[in-house]
Amino acid sequence: MANPENIRDKVAIVGVGACKFGENWDQSPSDMIVDAAYEAYADAGIEKPQEQIDAVFTGTIYSQKGPHECSDALKLWKPVTLVSNYCATGTDAFRCGVMSIVAGLYDTVLVVGYDKPKDRGVSGPSVMLDGVRDLPKTPAGWFSLCAATYFEKYGASREDLAKIAIKNHHNGCLAPKSFLKREITVEDYFKARIISWPFGLYDSAAQTDGAAAAIITRADLARSYRDDPVLVKAVTVQAGPNPQKDPSNDFLSWKPTAQAAKDAYHMAGITDPRAEIGVAQVHDCFSLTELLTYEDLGFCEKGSAKDHIADGVFELSGELPVNTDGGLKTFGHPTGATGVRMIYENTLQLQGRAENRQVADPKLALSHNIGGHPTACGIAILGNA
Amino acid sequence: MTLGIRSYGAYVPRTRLPLALIGGRPAKDGGPEKAVAWNDEDAVTMAVTAGVHCLAGLDRAQVDAVYFASTTYAFREKQAAALVARALDLPRQVRTADFAGSLRAGTTALRAAFDAVTAGSARNVLVLASDARMAAPGSPLEANFGDGAAAFLVSDSDAIATLDAQHAVADEIVDVWRSEGDPFVHSWEDRFVVQEGYTPRITEAVEGLLAACGRTVGDFAKLALYAPDARSHATAARQLQASAEQLVPPLFGRLGNTGTAFAPMQLVLALEGALPGDRILVASYGDGAEALAFQATEAIEKLEPRRGVSWHLPRRRAAGSYDAYLKARSLNPREWETGGDPGLSATIHFRERDDDLSLRGQQCRACSAIQFPAQRVCETCFAKDDFESVRLSDRIGRLVTFTFDFFFPTPEPPTIVTVTEVDGARIHLQLVNCKPEDTKIGLPVEFVFRRIHQSGGRPNYFWKGSPVPSVTDPQEA
Ligand SMILES: CC(C)(COP(=O)(O)OP(=O)(O)OC[C@H]1O[C@@H](n2cnc3c(N)ncnc32)[C@H](O)[C@@H]1OP(=O)(O)O)[C@@H](O)C(=O)NCCC(=O)NCCS
């Protein structure tokens, strides 16, 4: 495990930015990177990036061009590192940036996550084959494998998943940069076609293009950029072997989340996550992933999520609002961008800048991604200075 | 120590195309149909399954040759028998050969197997005949063709049937053919084909056989006759003065003309019902004709029940539409093809032969856990490089969890995707022959060899799960 003293409160976020997420037909990856990075520059009051930024960490999984896409878009003559870690890619780029600062290598770093799946020419998930014995390689097919088992054991059903979808569609309507801005009803939910049982259209994240950026710096330098910097309390990425063949997997949770939560809470000094965390952005690639994550992050007991959902705990007005901007559900999931987009939302929430989706006075904000089969989980916890 | 056929097996694809659908009419219950290899099946997968049934309960390490007969293998250059041997997990030193080019190839392979065993150069030869021929959509041949496979083990001992005589004639005639690059079989005018090709040749071969063994048609309990269609079958039977009881039913309207596998599947049907002492006459046709005379031995009563043609026939499901059939056979590529075709690395194919084709996993010597695929570090105790390879394909697995995927390109979605556990090993596996509503956690499954997808113009093979059949099973699946 990481040593908390070496990371907690050492690094601050002083600027965030994001492009509008969606089917950005008329934007190249570079265009989106510029939107996100320049918004973050402005947020941090950076006017001469070439002088004020020491290094760039970028995360993408679809890019054909690799690391130079970012350097070229921003015309930055700086060290650049490309990070790839499935759906945790954005969070991992952020982690690597943070690590470079705590290591004492750089003072101020730009983190950019982006992806452009809509250039592939397919609207649904890509069905890829890259192994001789490969099965349909759709994320829905992977993430749905917990459903039969979880439903059977805990008596949950699509009714419970519907509530998550309705909540996120609602929240997405309040976020200026989200893609889907449409309230849905239970009837809409059950009428929609099935993608991979039990996931239907409304259980699934949309497919979009997007980019998000953050400027991070040494905590002691933060106030030279902003009066209200946000501190990094913890950031971790945990990974493991493929759960589909893990003989000890019970298909009731995704192990990397619990693993990463333990590490992150240790770093941040959190002992009662439900009480201490004020707002969370979790990986709702599919509705059930969000449900399992409530439990795997310790927001409630294993098996009890449906009761807490029914009580409205995770709604905007609830005790622990989750996915205040509508999540992957309404922003879509341009893989490299997502983790950074969540950090963007949590920063706004902690600074009281989240407008009509503002949560009352959160002290700690958590963001979470899980991806692969799923095999990797990233968690970042931010707090007010 | 009797030399002859020691065991048999067969395979009929579960999916049947009601012939009414071809003509755009609704399917009727009990109406004529044909068996069709679905999108994950082909001559190789059908042969493997027939081979599995044939070898059930027998020691595969003793098989020293595999002869594969088909006119519909996916490659022009590259052997099927070696692939089949790998899927059946046969010894490395197994002798392999493909027999092709004629619908007679099935019985020709069988005769070659007898030659090898009689000569003493092999002791156990596995003979497989399998075909999934294609006719142009809408052509008369389309309704006629069906798909299937048969398997025999020819051994130097424990024969259930001996080969008493054989006779063959070769002939050159352009009657039925498929040319290079053409996916479809064509035929000359059917009256010519029957009058100058099939009928005179098949009777010539049978009469030659009768002369060779000094018998008459009346001496035979069963006649297993190839025929291009029901009418020619009746004509040939009449000419040979065979009675209805003697004739193995040709199964037009249920199975269809299975090409290379036709006469061999007829032989399987005959063996399924044979009593000791019964004589069986088999005749096949294609660029000539050949006839074989068998006699069942006492041992036939002791053979453990096999999955033969009769076992498979009632286990059926009707294809939902003609369109789904076209998709399954890639006859409707515009709607069926997935975006790009990456083509899978041949080196990966090569490295994973044991995992993908033989469905071999490994057992950890340190903790005994079984896992799949082969990997360097134990999933359970983390021991390194200390494993024994184990065959999983002939074991029974159970569903740990599942989902129904509607996005995987398949003629009739959804695809049932599971995690299946087999003696501790977890495999991400598709499930076939099962409806979503029958898919349950804990469902016991056996493993079937299938064509899992196609990439770079080449088929990729792997295994799928299939519910363990129950005794009460032969209803629609
Ligand atoms: C669910 C999914 C298959 C739908 O894709 P699709 O069938 O191609 O849908 P289209 O893009 O053609 O859109 C059809 C309509 O539904 C809407 N829509 C698309 N995805 C949607 C979603 N996830 N939820 C709600 N509405 C959606 C579109 O806006 C469009 O509406 P419009 O006609 O009013 O403009 C696709 O969004 C998907 O694959 N999501 C999962 C992505 C994924 O796997 N991410 C990785 C997670 S780790």
* Domain CATH for A219: 3.40.47.10
DSSP H helices, B273-371, are: 309-312, 322-328, 333-336, 346-351
Predicted pLDDT at B190: 84
Predicted pLDDT at A254: 96
| Cβ(A22) – ligand 1 distance below 6 Å | no
In the reported structure, the alpha carbon of residue B438 is separated from the centroid of ligand 1 by a whole-number distance in angstroms of: 29
Q: A129–B462: do the CB atoms touch at under 8 Å?
A: no
Who's near B237: CB < 8 A, 6+ residues apart? Answer: B223, B225, B247
Cross-chain CB nearest to A197 (options B338, B342, B404): B404
Residues A219, A255, single domain; the answer is: no
Which residue of A127, A130, A133, A201 is the best one to mutate when testing the B interface, meaning the one whose CB has the most B CBs within 10 A? Answer: A133
Q: What range defines the domain where residue A98 resides?
A: 4-119+208-224
Residue A232, CA atoms < 13 Å, CB-side half-sphere:
33
Residues A217, A339, single domain; the answer is: no
Residues A220, A344, single domain; the answer is: no
SS3 content of chain B, % helix, strand, coil (to 5): 30, 30, 45
Cis peptide leading into B13, omega within 30 of 0?
Answer: no
Q: Collect all residues of chain B within an 8 Å Cβ-Cβ radius of residue A198.
A: 403
Who's near A184: CB < 8 A, 6+ residues apart? Answer: A165, A166, A169, A202
d(CA A184, CA B264): 60
Predicted pLDDT at A341: 98
DSSP 8-state code for residue B221: S
Residue B472 belongs to some domain of the structure: no
Residues A317, A245, single domain; the answer is: yes
Residue B234 belongs to some domain of the structure: yes
Question: Which token pair is B432?
Answer: 């076939």
Cross-chain CB nearest to A247 (options B356, B369, B460): B369
Predicted pLDDT at A154: 98
d(CA B316, CA B151): 20
Predicted pLDDT at A7: 94
Residues B183, B132, single domain; the answer is: yes
Predicted pLDDT at A137: 67
Q: B419–A145: do the CB atoms touch at under 8 Å?
A: yes
Who's near B274: CB < 8 A, 6+ residues apart? Answer: B161, B221, B222, B280, B296, B300
Who's near B70: CB < 8 A, 6+ residues apart? Answer: B43, B47, B80, B98, B99, B100, B105, B129, B130, B131, B259, B260, B261
% pLDDT > 70, chain B: 96
Residues B44, B90, single domain; the answer is: yes
Residue B101 belongs to some domain of the structure: yes
Q: Collect all residues of chain A within an 8 Å Cβ-Cβ radius of residue B455.
A: 129
Q: What range defines the domain where residue B148 resides?
A: 4-328
pLDDT per residue over B75-114, tens digit each?
989 999 999 999 999 999 999 999 999 999 999 999 999 9
% pLDDT > 90, chain B: 82
Determine the 3-state secondary structure of B255 from DSSP: coil
Q: Collect all residues of chain A within an 8 Å Cβ-Cβ radius of residue B408.
A: 127, 135-136, 138, 141
Residue B476 belongs to some domain of the structure: no
* DSSP state letters, B129-192: EEE-----TTSHHHHHB--EEEEEEEESSS-SEEEEEEEEEE----SEE--TT--S-EES-HHH
In the reported structure, the alpha carbon of residue A206 is separated from the centroid of ligand 1 by a whole-number distance in angstroms of: 5
Averaged pLDDT, A40-59: 97
d(CA A51, CA B416): 56
Residues B404, B318, single domain; the answer is: no
Residue A151, Cα to own-chain centre: how many angstroms? 26
**Does A87 participate in catalysis according to the annotation?**
yes
Residue A130 belongs to some domain of the structure: no
DSSP H helices, B373-461, are: none
Residue A152 belongs to some domain of the structure: no
Q: Collect all residues of chain B within an 8 Å Cβ-Cβ radius of residue A149.
A: 400-401, 441
| Whether residue B382 has pLDDT greater than 90 | no
pLDDT class of B336 with cuts at 50, 70, 90: very low
Number of domains forming the structure of chain A: 2
For the CA atoms of chain B, what is the radius of gyration? 22
**Does A146 participate in catalysis according to the annotation?**
no
| Cβ(A192) – ligand 1 distance below 6 Å | no
Q: Is B287 left (phi over 0), alpha (psi -120 to 50) or beta?
A: left
Sheet holding A230-239, edge to edge: A80-83, A55-59, A108-115, A210-218, A11-18, A230-239, A376-384, A364-371, A279-281
pLDDT class of B454 with cuts at 50, 70, 90: confident
Residue A164 belongs to some domain of the structure: no
| Cβ(A206) – ligand 1 distance below 6 Å | yes
Residue nearest to atom 25 of ligand 1 (CA): A202
Residue B474 belongs to some domain of the structure: no
| Whether residue A127 has pLDDT greater than 80 | no
ipTM of model: 0.77
Residue A94 belongs to some domain of the structure: yes
| Residue that finishes a domain, picked among B328, B358, B391 | B328
Residue B341 belongs to some domain of the structure: no
Q: Collect all residues of chain B within an 8 Å Cβ-Cβ radius of residue A289.
A: none
d(CA A362, CA A351): 9
Residues B189, B320, single domain; the answer is: yes
Residue nearest to atom 4 of ligand 1 (CA): A124
| Cβ(A285) – ligand 1 distance below 6 Å | yes
Q: B401–A148: do the CB atoms touch at under 8 Å?
A: yes
| Cβ(A359) – ligand 1 distance below 6 Å | no
Predicted pLDDT at B340: 53
Residue A30 belongs to some domain of the structure: yes
Residues B265, B388, single domain; the answer is: no
pLDDT class of B335 with cuts at 50, 70, 90: very low
| Whether residue B71 has pLDDT greater than 60 | yes
| Under 8 Å between Cβ of B358 and A133 | no
Residues A217, A286, single domain; the answer is: no
Q: Is B374 left (phi over 0), alpha (psi -120 to 50) or beta?
A: beta
Residues A217, A238, single domain; the answer is: no
Average pLDDT, chain B: 93
Averaged pLDDT, A99-119: 96
Residues B323, B351, single domain; the answer is: no
Averaged pLDDT, B253-257: 97
Average pLDDT, chain A: 95
Residues B301, B386, single domain; the answer is: no
Predicted pLDDT at A284: 98
Predicted pLDDT at A195: 92
Residues A219, A309, single domain; the answer is: no
In the reported structure, the alpha carbon of residue B409 is separated from the centroid of ligand 1 by a whole-number distance in angstroms of: 17
Residue A28 belongs to some domain of the structure: yes
Predicted pLDDT at B475: 54
CB-count exposure of residue A377 (10 Å: 0-12, 13-18, 19+): buried
- Output the domain CATH number for residue B59: 3.40.47.10
Residues B252, B354, single domain; the answer is: no
pLDDT per residue over B1-35, tens digit each?
699 999 999 999 999 999 999 989 999 999 999 99
pLDDT class of B472 with cuts at 50, 70, 90: low
Interstrand relation of A55-59 and B65-69 (parallel, antiparallel or unpaired) = unpaired
Q: Which residue is associated with the tokens 């090569």?
A: B350
In the reported structure, the alpha carbon of residue B404 is separated from the centroid of ligand 1 by a whole-number distance in angstroms of: 18
| Whether residue A120 has pLDDT greater than 90 | no
Averaged pLDDT, A349-366: 97
Residues A219, A282, single domain; the answer is: no
Residues B219, B350, single domain; the answer is: no
| Residue that finishes a domain, picked among B282, B302, B328 | B328
Among the listed residues A169, A283, A308, A333, the single catalytic one is: A333
Predicted pLDDT at B477: 43
Predicted pLDDT at B471: 63
| Under 8 Å between Cβ of A368 and A257 | yes
| Cβ(A207) – ligand 1 distance below 6 Å | yes
| Whether residue A5 has pLDDT greater than 90 | no
Residues B178, B67, single domain; the answer is: yes
Residues A312, A328, single domain; the answer is: yes
Averaged pLDDT, B388-408: 95
| Whether residue B339 has pLDDT greater than 90 | no
| Cβ(A195) – ligand 1 distance below 6 Å | yes
Q: A193–B428: do the CB atoms touch at under 8 Å?
A: no
Residues B350, B311, single domain; the answer is: no
Residues B65, B193, single domain; the answer is: yes
| Under 8 Å between Cβ of B151 and B43 | no
| Whether residue B184 has pLDDT greater than 70 | yes
Residue A77 belongs to some domain of the structure: yes
Residues A247, A323, single domain; the answer is: yes
CB-count exposure of residue A81 (10 Å: 0-12, 13-18, 19+): middle
The residue among B256, B65, B221, B38 whose CA lies nearest residue B143 is B256
Q: A145–B401: do the CB atoms touch at under 8 Å?
A: yes
Residue A261 belongs to some domain of the structure: yes
Q: Which residues pair with B427 in a beta bridge?
A: B420
Residues A212, A299, single domain; the answer is: no
pLDDT per residue over A236-255, tens digit each?
999 999 999 999 999 999 99
A-B interface: how many C-beta pairs under 8 angstroms? 127
Number of domains forming the structure of chain B: 2
Residues A380, A336, single domain; the answer is: yes
Cross-chain CB nearest to B409 (options A127, A148, A194): A127
